[in-house]
Amino acid sequence: MALSLGFHIIFAEIGIAMPLLMVLAEWRWRRTGDAIYLQLARRWAKGTAILFAVGAVSGTVLSFELGLLWPSFMRLAGPVIGIPFALEGFAFFTEAIFLGVYLYGWERVSSRAHMSAGLIVAVSGAASALFVVIVNAWMNTPAGVTVDAGRFVTIDPLAAMRNPSTFQQVVHMLLAAYASTGLAVAGLHAAVLLRNNTLFHRRAMMVALTIGIPAALLQPISGDTSARAVARWQPVKLAAMESLLDTQRGAPLHLVGIEIPRALSLLAFRDPDAEVRGLSAFPRDVWPPIAPVHLAFQLMVILGTLMALVCAWAAVTTLRRREIADHRSLLAALALLTPAGFIATEAGWVVTEVGRQPWIIGGIMRTGDAVTPMPGLAVPMIVFTLIYLGLAAVVAISIASLVRETT
């Protein structure tokens, strides 16, 4: 399951942001009449088609795996979290319908209808993400239920959707999608530009950056508010993220071996002397695995910071009316950051998921109690791993050949 999710999250991100890119390119074409933008829109639409199809089937696998792997979790939580899943289903349906119209309707519908179809795809993609992340937020900080002896006595699905983590997690995920995909696409084209400076790749990179730069610049702010929410609602997770063993006032922040005094207290509680509870304040059997959570958190913060810095550099370059494409060191930096957003996403996902362990529903149900009684789960695990690795390889090859196609 973790594997399928880890695989799916990347495709979902691309599925959220890519339609926006292709619509932007088409809009530029309709505005300027510059045929390069049309070419770009069509090329990106092809890429979107591949990624959407793979994202759609991996999403199907997920919806079944909820029952295949976590039957007890679904029996308990289905009535609570089913509503956002159902809404997600409809958002996804809308996305699939209009992606079909967009991809195969260039000659069949009017230009206005075609643009609108693309926009609907972009909006419904973001809506699907919203609903799915709501479910995850609920698992982190369950609300809207009263529990007695492991059963839900009363449930309020709407209150569950408005749990304390929802807002921060949704914003953080959407920004992550736009930043990762925008910068990945920009990075791919920047890499080509380093060798072969054509107008096509310049335009492509600039359109991608119009989405990537704002998102990457906003992401650290969203990360900060998320961290404060975690500090308040999931103190064990925060302690694991910082591998803070003992409770202390004026707790320092560790970043790549550097210790910044009092920074953690300041960041988490807006007070340099605030008390941050360490792991030892909690019983050992509710500790998550500390090392992976801590490392993943560091990785996410470092990559996010790098992305924001390079984006600030690119933004300043543009504001000073210089062409990014003529700036070789900036191009190289962008090219290097191509996978950064996706790696940061995976790391962030490790932080939120592994950081919640041993719980599948924070404080209510343990992961071990939710798993299916069927023995031999290693077999499907291995099979799906192989399939996913194969799919990822083919997708990568397809995308690479799409980018390389000279124009």
Q: What tokens does 312 get?
A: 């600030």
The reply on whether position 157 binds another protein by CB under 8 A is yes
> Applying CB under 8 A, which of residues 2, 3, 32, 86 lies at the interface with another protein?
86
User: Residue 258 gets which letter from DSSP?
Assistant: E
> Applying CB under 8 A, which of residues 1, 5, 38, 74 lies at the interface with another protein?
74
Q: Which of 276, 252, 238, 268 is nearest to 355 (CA)?
A: 238
Which part of the chain contacts another protein (CB under 8 A), choosing from 83-91, 177-185, 188-196, 226-234? 83-91
Return the bridge partners of 148, or none. Answer: 151
The reply on whether position 80 binds another protein by CB under 8 A is yes
Which part of the chain contacts another protein (CB under 8 A), choosing from 17-25, 150-158, 197-205, 282-290? 150-158
The reply on whether position 389 binds another protein by CB under 8 A is no
The reply on whether position 6 binds another protein by CB under 8 A is no
The reply on whether position 99 binds another protein by CB under 8 A is yes
Describe the crossing of helices 71-104 and 111-140 by its angle, rounded to 10 degrees: 170
CB of 380 to another protein, least distance (A): 5
Alpha-carbon dihedral 130, 136, 140, 145, rounded to 10 degrees: 90
**What is residue 400's three-state secondary structure?**
helix
The reply on whether position 63 binds another protein by CB under 8 A is yes
The reply on whether position 261 binds another protein by CB under 8 A is no
The reply on whether position 382 binds another protein by CB under 8 A is no
Pattern of binders to another protein over 361-380, x per CB under 8 A? -----------xxxxx---x
Instruction: List binders of another protein among 109-128 (CB under 8 A).
Output: 109
Nearer to another protein, 108 or 321 (CB): 108
> Applying CB under 8 A, which of residues 18, 21, 101, 215 lies at the interface with another protein?
101
158 Cα distance to chain centroid: 24
Largest alpha-carbon pair distance within the chain?
66
Whether 257 contacts 315, CB under 8 Å:
no
Q: How many residues form the binding site for another protein (CB under 8 A)? A: 69
The reply on whether position 79 binds another protein by CB under 8 A is yes
| Pairwise CA distance, residues 88 & 128, whole Å | 5
Amino acid identity of 47?
A: G
Q: Which of 76, 81, 226 is nearest to 160 (CA)?
A: 81
Q: Which residues contact 226 (CB under 8 A, 6 or more apart)?
A: 168, 169, 172
Q: Which of 401, 20, 406, 398 is nearest to 209 (CA)?
A: 20
The reply on whether position 56 binds another protein by CB under 8 A is yes
Describe the crossing of helices 71-104 and 2-32 by its angle, rounded to 10 degrees: 20
CB of 197 to another protein, least distance (A): 27
> Applying CB under 8 A, which of residues 146, 323, 397, 405 lies at the interface with another protein?
397
- For binding to another protein (CB under 8 A), which residues are involved? 46, 49-50, 52-54, 56-61, 63-69, 71-72, 74-80, 82-83, 85-90, 92-94, 96-101, 103-105, 108-109, 155-158, 372-376, 380, 383-384, 387, 391, 394, 397-398, 401-402
